[in-house]
Amino acid sequence: MRYLLIILLGILTYSCVEEDNQDGMVIGNVSFTLGSTTRANELIEFVEGDAVGVYVLDRSKNSTLKSAGNYADNRKFIWNSDKKAFIAADNDNLIFNSPDRQLDFYVYFPYKSQVVDATSISHTVTGNSKTDDFLFAVNDEHTGKKDIPLNFVHLLSKVNVLYTSSENRDQTAMTIRSYTDTKVNLATGVLNTTVNRRTDLPLEKVSGDTYVSFTGLIPPQTFDTGEQFCMLSYTGLGTAYPFSFAEQRTFVSGETNEVKFMPKELAYNFLVTPVSLSFAALDGVGQSFVVTSEKSDAINGVILPSSTVSQPYSLSSKPDWVNIAGNEVTVVENRGSERSGEIIFLQSESNLTTKIAVHQTAGVITNDYIFTFDDGSTSKSWTSISASGASNSYSLTSTKLTYVNGTLETTETQGYSASANVDWASASGSTISVSENNSTTPRGGIMTFTQNESGKTVQVTMLQLKKSSVDIN
């Protein structure tokens, strides 16, 4: 009798869950198919036995999905390859729909049996792309039909790290330094990353003809400038090379991100110290410099150990007033204005250049003025000048000596002028003329010669005799 009741119950259940009305509305359990836009960063494919979890919101009773106590909580549905749909795992997981219900379906993958809160589902990334993926779909069309189409989206971020080097390609492996723990809110479809400690997760290696790609899934997160993103290692060689971004990089849900991990390449180092030299106008002391010229193997700018060797270089150009002997710079005396130039070195292979800026101050120009009478004196006396007037010539030495850096450069005659402190004496050149003294009193004065530019002076003191008699008309 008990066996018969079980059979009858099964028949009744089957007839209930599979009977459709004329409008195609189901009066039994639902299944889930894949919608035409089921993609995020790639086409989503399920295999036999893949399971999803389903939550159902009855909008006639509640406006938002609750942590628990919904129309249906975490029902398990399994992918059937023949039907190309997710069907209930068993009778305990059936979900019933009808035209009179306002049902929203919230579906996630992969199914987790121990979920107590639909708004905070824990998901941990382990570095296994087959199990790391987390998909989410919602259908709120309220059709009441049996087949519920789902358009899944990826909530994790996909990473493809490309490595194009052909050297030791088969021995390469890649890890990514990522956060692993997340919480998913099915009510919003938002995955939040737990920011605590990053873990090195392995990436799956996919070999191509000209490259190796390392792929995996990580939670959404941001890597700061200089913060390690991934690590390339060579199996059996005991070497590993980190990679960091040159600027901040953010990975978001549902995106595919390509990162190019550069292969081993030549890195050239070419610099000179100091980068500038200054010289006085007259400077016989040389100044030394040091050139560093190296070639190394590097990955992403990181120099590989024991790979650095010296690289030849040559002098490319220099000013003609600069001399170089070995690693010492000297300059030719500057007898003109200040001058500047560059010493340029050229590295072989790379064609990189490095420079020393050179500067030399202007030549030091000084002047010396000589202004004397021919005997070297600076003063003369002209006495007993006839009362009737007279003229007297003097021999003057007036020169300008120009020195550059202390060495005599030119000697030239310097002009001068004359002035008297009396109106009865005048000068033309170095000749002094005194007019007639019509007074019975002797008179005196001073003639001053002043050199141009220097302002130096020489003087002639004049004393004219009185007139012996005065005519009376």
Residues 183 and 285 in one domain: no
pTM above 0.75, yes or no: no
pLDDT digits (tens, 9 = 90+) for 142-152: 888 889 999 99
The secondary structure element, H or E, covering residue 226 is none
Residue 433: give the domain boundaries: 368-400+410-464
Distance CA 137, CA 227 (A): 34
Residue type, 104: D
Work out whether the CA dihedral 308, 313, 318, 320 comes out positive or negative: positive
Question: Which two three-digit tokens encode residue 192?
Answer: 């939040």
Residues 34 and 121 in one domain: yes
> Are 241 and 302 within 8 A, CB to CB?
yes
Distance CA 297, CA 264 (A): 6
The half-sphere exposure of 348 on its side-chain side, counting CA atoms within 13 A, is 5
Residues 375 and 316 in one domain: no
Domain at 452, CATH number: 2.60.40.10
How does DSSP assign 248-314, residue by residue? -EEE-TT-EEEEEE---EEEEEEEEESSEEEE-SS----EE-EEEEEEEEEETTEEPTT--EE--EE
What is the number of H-type helices and E-type strands within the chain?
A: 2, 42
Residues 453 and 379 in one domain: yes
pLDDT confidence of residue 43: 58
pLDDT digits (tens, 9 = 90+) for 179-192: 999 999 999 999 99
pLDDT digits (tens, 9 = 90+) for 418-473: 999 999 999 999 999 999 999 999 999 999 999 999 999 999 999 999 998 755 55
Residues 221 and 284 in one domain: no
How many independent structural domains does the chain possess?
4
Residues 93 and 74 in one domain: yes
Distance CA 368, CA 388 (A): 41
Burial (CB count within 10 angstroms: exposed 0-12, middle 13-18, buried 19+), residue 43: exposed
List residues bridging with 78 in a β-sheet: 51, 87
